Structure 1
Amino acid sequence: MSFTLAIVGRPNVGKSTLFNRLVGKRLALVDDQPGVTRDLREGEARLGDLRFTVIDTAGLEEATDESLQGRMRRLTERAVDMADVCLFLIDARAGVTPSDEVFADILRRRADHVILACNKAEGSAADAGVYESYGLGLGEPVRLSAEHGEGLNELYTLLAPVAETFEARAAADAPEVEVDVNEDGEVDADAPRKPTVDKPLQVAVVGRPNAGKSTLINKILGEDRLLTGPEAGITRDSISLTLDWDGMPTRIFDTAGMRKRAKVQDKVEKLSVADGLRAVKFAEVVVVLLDAAIPFEQQDLRIADLAEREGRAVVLAVNKWDVETEKQQKLRDLREAFERLLPQLRGAPLVTVSAKTGRGLDRLRAAVEKAHDVWNTRISTAQLNRWLTGMVEAHPPPAPGGRRIKLRYMTQAKTRPPGFVVMCSHPDKLPESYSRYLVNGLREDFDMPGTPIRLHMRSQSSKNPYKNKKKSTPSRLRKHIHGRGGAQG
């Protein structure tokens, strides 16, 4: 049981830079302009031998209304309430501002344990700001430079007693764990990987701006954990959250809305889209969220195709279904458009949901689990070769130049996604249409709808490897023959 540290402060004081320094990765987006961070981002931090959870928060704003800044402030205040320790960060070069004084007063009232830190404190130019910070009444400040990693030793000294307290509490509360071992003690390496608490199922939710991705994840979580609103493009970071989704351990990624490349001009939006693409690469299942009012826009097709090319299991979810009037006709139109526009994902689940009311979330969870199982499909070599014989008999490969291409045998090389290798003669002359014939057959006959399938043709020489090689007589026998011949002569 580790403790939780929330980094709070005004916009642009270096919270995300310090967050990246503590987790050892560039997880949070960092830019010179203020207000880049909007959601709460969690990460596993390491500081010396300390291990704890760190939360990067949006810059504290003085707005308290229903505006975007007001909603961001309430989310940050929630992080203060849930954290064990708050690290209040100020800009030492700018000195203490009136906003810093307001937020220091809030932290004194709401937080149990507050550490004051002066960032950008390298050099003598920061001395005046450090001395001013004593007036906030939060104790002696820690001089930090998140950019250069200075002052982390002092921060470690202040956090070490907190860690000891939580370790002692965890040791007292730890339950006894029983481990079941089967008789053989063997593990089936080919069995599909079942999500566990240590290795949860990785799910990325992607789509165009304002499709309802954050609202959907909030509904799955059962709480308003992500910032939402009518404005398009609120989410900037790819936020990962771990939850138990009706018995299935899951890490779900909320990503920034992806617009057409030509429309993306802002530097922060470019960083956000790149962060979302990275989330797709790390995911196992990608949920492509469509807007029921305008489904299968050009950008939706690009996003779905990207997930397929990355080899991820894909689930299509149509959001805002609660406001649709002609549901049956609309669903028929959606399925027809799906088959026509995304043939490479033929058979992938298409689920209708309402992120606002929560309708259809049970179907979405079942579709995600099914897509993950299919993505992990393993087929024995014997089954594959019996199937390949039948496919070749039903539709033999072509005979370019009068010489028929022979498909000798087939095996599965990998899973996640399923990948197969066919050993054949003249693989370079086998047309793409025949490969598609085999892939479609695999989907139908082995119940692998929608998942990406990789099929590789490789050549196998049928020539005798010992042809044209001279027979060599063993040296011992050769000496014996020569010896006998010499004696007879």
Structure 2
Amino acid sequence: MAFKLAIIGRPNVGKSTLFNRLAGRRLAIVDDTPGVTRDRRSHPAKLQDLRFEVIDTAGLESAAAPTLEGRMRAQTEIAIDEADIALFVIDARAGVMPDDSTFADLLRRKGKPVVLVANKTDVNAAAAGVIDAWGLGLGDPVAISAEHGLGMSDLRDAIVEALGEDVALAEETEPVAMPGEEIAVGEDVDPEAEEAPYDATKPLRIAVMGRPNVGKSTLINALIGQDRMLTGPEAGITRDSISVDWEWRGRKIKLFDTAGLRRKARVQAKLEKLSVADGIRAARFAEVVIIVFDATIPFEKQDLQIADLVIREGRAPVIAFNKWDLIEDRQEMLAELREKTERLLPQVRGLQAVPISAETGRGLDKLLEAVEKTHRTWNSRVSTGRLNRWLEGATAQHPPPAVAGRRLKVKYITQIKTRPPGFVVSCSRPDAMPQSYVRYLVNGLRETFNLFGVPIRVALRTSDNPYAGRARKKS
């Protein structure tokens, strides 16, 4: 990355809109409500010929350190320290506010190059605000409209002037991965191909999901060993889905923190709906989803609905029973939780469930070992020969039932997809096949080929009859 650029300013001045403009896609949640952004988020970005990493930050507010606003401000100051240059954004329509002057002094003390940006200049009333910005003493204000993409050329020139051409236009040591690359879920496989070994060197994408206040952000902070995510006793702190790059035992991992998912009937506010949609989108970009349960009140109805969502999306689920340090009789509780996991989530028999404490760091290595094991199963490939030898024995032991006086015939099976494993069974009358027999086949696949803990998809098809529709000829 050539350089890092942090976007700084009061709440509701358009920082996230500018972040989305530079990142090239709608990543950050944008709303008219002040203080939408809470965690800092970074992403590769481009502005004409410039390539850099852009950091979106929470709105700067004057508040005591223990409060939520104070903790948000601390995260913003970390972003300023990490960045090579700061874009200080003001709302040109509102003009310069007292907090703008306070935070301009803060940026001066940091000693980083600063570009003053007057946003929302797409209306005539903003001209006075641009003139007021001169009084901040941060140089010429750059008039832009992040929403409509106005003034981007002037912003590019100001960044180059502030950093110097040697830094701003430096050659990339690594190619910038611009957005657009999606995780291939439900990958097609060649039925005739040999089984390929699992590649443990490929990067892994993990999303962390759960109800509000179960410890998702605390878990990510514990995994990466730093206070990267904003945490606290308040429920619903996380709003945006934030991604963090990390390494575990030499393997590259991208972690996605998501907003807590409440019951649909309780989600009324527009902002929470946006947060929930962003969290579900993050799960769709992930390969493995860690579903965090509160071990002190596990298996709430919402926990099961989140798990069902992950399974229906075809992701590899792993359950983390968090707050294990608060449990007294741990052996008895663990046996009870595992029994409930098998009983309440029968869709994925053998689901990996690990007790952890994000607060103390207990069980984190076991959790990641379970993640890798589940990911390995999720990528499983079984050859057609092995499948049909199993099918022959399975149908001999338990033949398909007779429907309307005619016995169903199961001819062959082949795997057509991985991530998750997907199979096609050729049979005589797919529409008449009872679901109970399909479940028998799925359970047999799990036990024979060790496909525990991941969704399995089975499609029933019939072979084409070349004589269908032809009238019988009279002899």
Under a length normalisation based on structure 2, what TM-score does the superposition of the two structures give? 0.91
- Aligned-pair distance for 1:463? 5.5
Residue 81 of structure 1: aligned partner: 81
Q: Contact 1:195/1:249 (CA < 8 Å) preserved in 2?
A: no
Structure 2 residue corresponding to 1:346, chosen from 318, 327, 349: 349
Q: Within 5 A, what are the aligned runs for 1:92-107?
A: 92-107=92-107
Partner SS, residue 35 of structure 1: coil
Aligned residue in 1 for 2:129 = 129
Rounded to whole Å, the distance in 2 between the matches of 1:172 and 1:422 is: 50
How far residue 246 of structure 1 moved from its aligned partner, in angstroms, is 2.5
C-alpha contact (below 8 Å) 2:117/2:141 kept by paired residues: yes
SS at match of 1:338: helix
- Please report how far the alpha carbon of residue 168 of structure 1 lies from its aligned counterpart in structure 2 after TM superposition: 7.6
Cα deviation digits, residues 85-124 of structure 1 (max 9, x gap): 1000001111111100110010011142111100011233
Is structure 2 residue 216 aligned with structure 1 residue 213? yes
142-151 or 165-174: bigger deviation: 165-174
Q: 1:292 and 2:295 equivalent? A: yes
Structure 1 residues 317-336: aligned runs within 5 Å: 317-336=320-339
Letter of the aligned partner of 1:94 in structure 2? A
The alpha carbon displacement at 1:193 in A equals 6.5
CA deviations over 1:452-472 (Å, ceiling 9, x no partner): 0000010114666999899xx
Provide the secondary structure at the position in 2 that maps to 1:115: strand
Q: Which amino acid aligns with 1:62?
A: S
Q: Which piece of structure 1 moves more, 209-218 or 134-143?
A: 134-143
Contact 2:342 2:351 in 1 (8 A): no
CA contact 2:213–2:260 (8 Å) conserved in 1: yes
Shift in alpha-carbon separation, 1:454–1:111, aligned structure 2, 3 A: farther
1:20 correspondence with 2:20: yes
Which deviations, in whole Å up to 9, do the C-alpha atoms of 1:147-189 show, x marking residues without a partner? 1110101111123464853478667999xxxxxxxxxxxxx99
**Compared CA separation, residues 52 and 365, structure 1 to 2 (3 A):** same
Q: After alignment, is 44-53 or 332-341 more displaced? A: 44-53
Taking a change above 3 Å as real, the CA distance of residues 291 and 169 of structure 1, as seen in their structure-2 partners, is: same
Which position in structure 1 is the counterpart of 2:426?
423
The alpha-carbon distance between structure 1 residues 280 and 172, as it changes in their structure 2 partners (threshold 3 A), is closer
Task: Return the offset for 1:202.
Answer: 1.2
**What percentage of residue pairs aligned between the two structures are identical?**
59
- What does residue 445 of structure 1 align with? 448
CA offsets per residue over residues 110-151 of structure 1, 9 Å max, x none? 142111100011233112111111121111111010111101
Aligned equivalents of 1:347, 1:141: Cα separation in 2: 60
Distance 2:146 2:441 in 1: 55
Aligned partners of 1:172, 1:356: CA distance in 2, in Å? 37
Specify which of 175, 189, 200 is matched with residue 203 of structure 2. 200
- In structure 1, C-alpha distance between the alignment counterparts of 2:174 and 2:422, rounded to whole Å: 46
Alignment of 1:383-422 (within 5 A): 383-422=386-425
Q: Secondary structure at the match of 2:382?
A: coil
2:314 is matched with which residue: 311, 314, 328? 311
User: What are the Cα deviations for residues 221-249 of structure 1, in whole angstroms up to 9, with x where unaligned?
Assistant: 10000100000110011111111122221
Distance 1:189-1:410 versus aligned 2 partners, 3 A rule: closer
Residues 358 and 163 of structure 1, relative CA distance in 2, 3 Å threshold: farther
Amino acid at match of 1:98: P
User: Does 2:374 correspond to 1:371?
Assistant: yes
The farther-off stretch of 287-296 and 262-271 is 262-271
Task: Sort the Cα spacing of 1:369 and 1:468 in 2 relative to 1 into closer, same or farther, 3 A.
Answer: same
1:165 counterpart = 2:170: no
1:302 to 300, 305, 310: 305
The 3 A distance-change label for structure 1 pair 193 and 202 is farther
Alpha-carbon distance in 2 for matches of 1:350, 1:171: 42
Aligned to 1:229: 232
Q: Structure 1 residue aligned with 2:358, among 331, 355, 359?
A: 355
What is the rounded CA distance, in whole Å, between the counterparts of 2:439 and 2:74 in structure 1? 53
| 1:183 counterpart residue number | none
Partner SS, residue 55 of structure 1:
strand
Offset of residue 274 of structure 1: 1.0
- Could you tell me how far apart the structure 1 residues matched to 2:457 and 2:71 are? 45
User: Would the alpha carbon gap of residues 422 and 311 (structure 1) be closer, same or farther in structure 2, given more than 3 Å must change?
Assistant: same
Q: Distance in 1 between matches of 2:348 and 2:173?
A: 51
Q: Would you say the 8 A contact 1:86–1:111 is kept in 2?
A: no
2:78 aligned partner, one-letter code: R
- Rounded Cα–Cα distance in structure 2 between residues aligned with 1:111 and 1:277: 40
Using the TM superposition, name which of 98-107 and 260-269 deviates more: 260-269
In structure 2, the CA distance between the partners of 1:257 and 1:192, relative to structure 1 (3 Å rule), is: farther
Separation in structure 2 between the aligned mates of residue 52 and residue 172 of structure 1, nearest angstrom: 12
Deviation at 1:33, TM superposition (A): 1.1
Which amino acid counterpart does residue 252 of structure 1 have in structure 2? Answer: L
Aligned to 1:7: 7
2: CA distance between counterparts of 1:380 and 1:163?
58
Count of residues paired in the alignment: 455
**Residue 120 and residue 467 in structure 1: after superposition, are their counterparts in 2 closer, same or farther (change >3 A)?**
closer
Residue 109 of structure 1 corresponds to 109
TM-score normalised to the size of structure 1?
Answer: 0.89
| Structure 2 equivalent of residue 64 of structure 1 | 64
Q: Work out which structure has the larger RCO, using CA pairs closer than 8 Å and 6 or more positions apart in sequence.
A: 2
Q: Unaligned stretches of 5+ in structure 1?
A: 175-187, 471-489
Larger radius of gyration: 1
- Map of 1:265-284 to 2, 5 A cutoff? 265-284=268-287
1:36-91 deviations in whole A, cap 9, x for unaligned?
11001112212112221111100001113200000000000000000111000001
Aligned with 2:309: secondary structure?
Answer: helix
List structure 1 runs of 4+ shifted beyond 6 angstroms. Answer: 167-174, 464-470
